[in-house]
Amino acid sequence: MIIAKQKPIEEIISEITPYKRILILGCNECVTVCEAGGKKEVEVLASALRLHYMTKGQGKTFGEATLERQCDREYLEEIRGDMDDYDAVVSLACGVGVQFAAETYTATPLLPGVDTVCLGANEARGVWAERCQACGSCVLARTGGICPVARCAKRVMNGPCGGSANGKCELGPDTDCAWQLIIDRLNSLNRLGDYDVVAPVKDWSSDRAGGPRTVTREDVSI
Amino acid sequence: MPDTFQPRIVGFCCKYCAYAAADLAGSMRLSYPASIKIIQVPCTGRVDVIHVLRALEEGVDGVMIAGCLEGECHFLEGNLKARKRITQVKALLKRIGMDPDRVEMFNLSSAMGPRFAEISQEMARRIQDLGPSPIPGEKPKGRAA
Amino acid sequence: MSDIKTNSRLEKILRSGALAVTSECGPPRGSDAGAILEKGQLIKDHVDAVNVTDNQTAMTRMCSLAACVHLKLAGIEPVLQMVTRDRNRVALQSDILGAASFDIPNMLCLSGDHQSFGDCAQGQNVHDLDSMQLVQTACHMRDEQKFLGGDAIHRPPELFVGAAANPFADPFEIRVPRLAKKIACGAGFIQTQCIYNIDKFKEWMRRAVDAGLTEKAFILAGMTPMKSVGMAKYMKSKVPGMDVPDSIIKRLSGVDKSKQAQEGINICVEHIQELKEVPGVAGFHVMAIEWEEKVPEIVEEAGLYPRPAV
């Protein structure tokens, strides 16, 4: 899923300064699972903002809504009727949702309420960690199912680098060395021989380097 | 105004400890401030951030959350979760410009009637010192002068 | 051993069978070339080539290539260090050609310390290629006389291409296979991480010899004298991938503070003498960090002076 984290409320307060009627818009997908932008977070943010402006005696109003998905025009349509009631929307969806909402409601300012962090998974209660960088050409078959692009700080395709120590990255003890994980995994699969193959220079044109990426499929288009 | 200020405090009380302690305090004829409105919860673990914020939005002057002694939660660690959430609420209040002292978490057992009276008085005194909530909120009917 | 011949003095000495000696100079944090020339002059008669670091520890410095040019013009043979952290394949190939235009004869391919350790912790890193792929790229440009994109290179670079190896990083079991990969990519020489754990290094060397790797590339053992017991402790606990045995710390703490630097040099010289006898060791890379003036003394006492003329 897409991992996001809530922006500091001070930043949101500063962004909404010019507006009076604000909709806090949540999303039921990834940001709900990573507890950054679901219904619950919408309630808390709206309530906290109300308290803030009531304390200061400033009359701003905050509406609340949470859509099934913000990365889907069909669901975004559900709030079309309410949009006239708002001067701005703070979207708690990932960057994709914020942009899709902005594309749908061109006359209303769309402000991000979260920072989109990475593609990852829930490692433990309260811990979400990156697993994929969407490089566009997956190498996991050759690396024991552990991604050197997402999990090595230097994206080393033939690792580990000289900074690997005791299974940890040179960045520090909080980061596992991806190549230690790869080698352990190849070992347990009895495939350490795979390590001897030099990974060739990678084609990054399917990564960010190639510009915005699009997948087009004739067979499923209408 | 300050002379006539009657703090309104919501107390989320766990039924296994604080709620029973409040009962006991009553039986023992111990007085505690009438301004505390007790809401019984099955466990303080049931109290979420939004419940506290909503109460403040309604205009209450303080919120106390009273759960079991640490290590004695009927649901094992509901009170520990509550403490984390209350810590989060206090941090949030600070950032939005409200005094975090308006919210406090306490731990006690069902046998601690006198302790319940004590924390209630402590909370009432603290809110009295802080003064009325800056939130306009609806004042209780029949009490407004 | 492949018979690629370049104009590198380092390569010629290694091929002659003599033990080679290299050292290292860090370019200045400013544009005064005098600093690098001064360091170079201190050591030039005692070493065969001088590595010029590329923004080491991710601290912004004068570029390695320019510093190499200054040394070259002063008659000192440089080893151009290039890290993959800061440049993509366009810039790396371009800099290789730039180096070749000045006939800089050696280059060492590295991934580089992570930028978070340096003065631009908020910067992006590149890592378009990794260090092994950079070795491949340089060798491809030299041997195939082509760019990575396939076009022919007019006056291709004649570079003696090397790589680094850390015999002490984890996991130990793949340290020799990893060396084998670098050599398979075309590395003609290898400079190792600073060696303090002699037994572990010997074990690594034994495995490298057994794998036939010393037939294909020259291995230069990395040596760094300890200035003090404080430095030894710092290297042990703070520098990733560094293996400093307690015996070294004990020996340094055993002497008076004023004599620790000399003791550090003694240890270094003893280690060189011991490693000279180890099969497969083709030379020494003496890195006296901000202590270049001690290199001549170490080289002389280790019996590696005078340097052969080629």
In chain A, the residue whose alpha carbon lies closest to the alpha carbon of B99 is A55
Dihedral (CA of C219, C224, C229, C235) sign = negative
Q: If you count residue pairs, one on A and one on C, with CB atoms under 8 Å apart, how many are there?
A: 95
- Which residues on B lie below 8 Å from A52 (Cβ)? 96-98
Query: Rounded CA gap, C276 and C271, in Å?
Result: 8
Cα–Cα distance measured from residue A171 to residue C106, given in angstroms and rounded to the nearest whole number: 30
| Chains in contact with C, where contact requires at least 3 CB pairs less than 8 Å apart | A
Nearest to B86 by CA among B49, B57, B127, B37: B49
Distance CA A16, CA A60 (A): 10
Which residues of B are less than 8 Å from A8 in CB distance? 95
- Say what angle helices C131-143 and C175-184 make with each other, to 10 degrees: 20
Mean pLDDT of chain B: 92
Residues from chain A that touch C174, judged by Cβ atoms under 8 A, are 160, 183, 192, 195
Residues 19-78 of B with CB under 8 A from A: 48-50, 53-54, 56-57
Across B33-43, average pLDDT: 94
**Are A75 and A100 spatial neighbours (Cβ–Cβ below 8 Å)?**
no
Nearest C-alpha neighbor of B135 from the set B63, B32, B49, B29: B63
**What would the mean pLDDT of A138-164 be, rounded to a whole number?**
95
Among A139, A210, A196, A157, which Cα is nearest to C133's? A157
Interface check for A40 against chain B (CB to CB < 8 A): the answer is yes
A185 touches chain C (CB under 8 A): no
Q: Does B108 touch chain A (CB under 8 A)?
A: no
Neighbouring chains of A at 3+ CB pairs under 8 Å are B, C
- The pLDDT value given to residue B145: 33
Identify the three-state secondary structure at position C192. Answer: strand
Residues B78, B107: contact at Cβ < 8 Å?
A: no
Q: Which is nearest to C178 in space by CA: A165, A167, A187, A196?
A: A196
Q: Environment class of residue B127 by beta-carbon count within 10 Å: exposed (0-12), middle (13-18) or buried (19+)? A: buried
Sequence-ordered list of residues with C-beta below 8 angstroms from that of C154, at least 6 positions apart, any chain: none
What are the backbone dihedrals phi and psi of residue C31, each rounded to the nearest 5 degrees, phi first? -105, 15
B144 or C27: whose pLDDT is higher?
Answer: C27
Indicate yes or no: CB of C114 within 8 angstroms of CB of A154.
Answer: yes
Is A190 touching B (CB cutoff 8 A)?
no
Which of B49, B54, B97 is closest, CB to CB, to A55? Answer: B97
d(CA A87, CA A83): 8
Q: Do A47 and B98 touch (CB under 8 A)?
A: no
Q: What is the percent of chain C with per-residue pLDDT over 90, rounded to a whole number?
A: 93
C6 vs A: CB within 8 A: no
Residue-averaged pLDDT of chain A: 96
Please, which residues 110-139 of chain C have a Cβ atom closer than 8 Å to chain A?
111-114, 116-117, 125, 127-133, 136-137
Residue of C nearest to A179 (CA): C171
Give which of C53, C97, C61, C40 is closest to C79, Cα–Cα.
Answer: C53
| Chain A interface test: which of B50, B60, B77, B80 (most A C-beta within 10 Å) | B50
A56 touches B at CB < 8 Å: yes
Instruction: List the single best residue of A198, A202, A204, A205 to mutate versus C (max C Cβ within 10 A).
Output: A198
pLDDT digits (tens, 9 = 90+) for C129-169: 999 999 999 999 999 999 999 999 999 999 999 999 999 98
Distance of alpha carbon C222 from alpha carbon C7, whole angstroms: 24
Task: Pick the residue from chain A with its C-alpha nearest to B90.
Answer: A48
C48-66 pLDDT per residue, tens: 999 999 999 999 999 999 9
The Cα of B64 is separated from the nearest Cα of chain A by a number of Å equal to 18
Q: What is the mean pLDDT of residues A90-104?
A: 98
Interface residue A55 vs chain B (CB under 8 A): yes
Residue of A nearest to C126 (CA): A154
Residue A205 has pLDDT above 90, yes or no: yes
Contacts of B93 in chain A (CB under 8 A): 51
Of the candidates C283, C218, C216, the residue with the CA atom closest to the CA atom of residue C20: C283
Q: What is the pLDDT of residue C170?
A: 83
Instruction: Determine which helix (DSSP H) or strand (DSSP E) holds A24, and give its type and residue range.
Output: strand A21-27
Confidence category of residue C310, pLDDT binned at 50, 70, 90: confident
Closest partner CB to B96 (pick from A40, A43, A48): A48
Query: Is residue B96 within 8 angstroms of chain A, CB to CB?
Result: yes
Task: Say whether residue C254 is in contact with chain A using an 8 A CB cutoff.
Answer: no
Overall average pLDDT of the A131-159 stretch: 96
Asked whether C209 and A222 are in contact (CB, 8 A), the reply is: no
Contact C169 A201 (CB under 8 A): no
Give A81's pLDDT tier (boundaries 50, 70, 90): very high
Average pLDDT over every residue of C256-277? 96
For A216, left (φ over 0), alpha (ψ -120 to 50), or beta?
beta
Are C52 and C67 contacting, i.e. CB atoms less than 8 angstroms apart?
yes
Q: CA C218, CA A189: separation in Å to the nearest integer?
A: 34
Q: Which residues neighbour C221 within 8 Å (Cβ) at sequence distance 6 or greater? A: C192, C195, C201, C272, C275, C281, C283, C284, C285
Inter-chain contact A10–B49, Cβ cutoff 8 Å?
A: no
For residue A9, the chain B residues in CB contact (below 8 A) are: 92, 95-96
From the list C89, C127, C169, the residue facing A160 with the nearest CB is: C169
Which residue in A has a C-alpha nearest to residue B96's C-alpha?
Answer: A52
**Closest approach of A26 to chain C, Cα-based (Å):** 31
Peptide bond into B100 cis (omega under 30): no
Q: What is the ipTM of this complex?
A: 0.91
Report chain A residues whose CB lies below 8 A from the CB of B53. 44, 47-48, 51
- Kindly report the average pLDDT of chain C as a whole number: 95
Question: Are the C-beta atoms of residues C225 and C244 closer than 8 Å to each other?
Answer: no
Mean pLDDT, residues A98-123 taken together = 97
* Per-residue confidence band for B142, with pLDDT thresholds at 50, 70 and 90: very low
DSSP summary character for residue B54:
H
Please give the residue that has the higher pLDDT: either B139 or B124: B124
Burial environment of residue A109 by CB neighbours within 10 A (0 to 12, 13 to 18, 19 or more)? middle
User: Could you tell me if B24 and B110 are in contact, meaning their C-beta atoms sit under 8 angstroms apart?
Assistant: yes
Laid out side by side, the sheet with A61-67 consists of A61-67, A21-27, A88-91, A110-112
Q: How far is B54 from chain A (nearest CA, A)?
A: 7
User: Binning pLDDT at 50, 70 and 90, where does residue C3 land?
Assistant: low
Residue B89: pLDDT band by 50, 70, 90 thresholds?
very high
In this model, does residue B143 exceed pLDDT 50? no
> What average pLDDT does the segment C232-261 reach?
93
Using CA atoms, how far apart are residues C64 and C33, in angstroms rounded to an integer? Answer: 11
Beta bridge partners of C79: C51, C106
Q: Do A157 and C166 touch (CB under 8 A)?
A: no
Question: Each residue of C9-34: b (16+ CB within 10 Å) or e?
Answer: bbbbbbbeebbbbbbbbbbbeeeebe
Q: Which chain B residue has its CA at the smallest distance from A58's CA?
A: B135
Please answer yes or no on whether A154 and C166 come within 8 Å at the CB atom: no
Distances (CA, A) of A99 to A4, A12, A27, A102: 15, 17, 13, 5
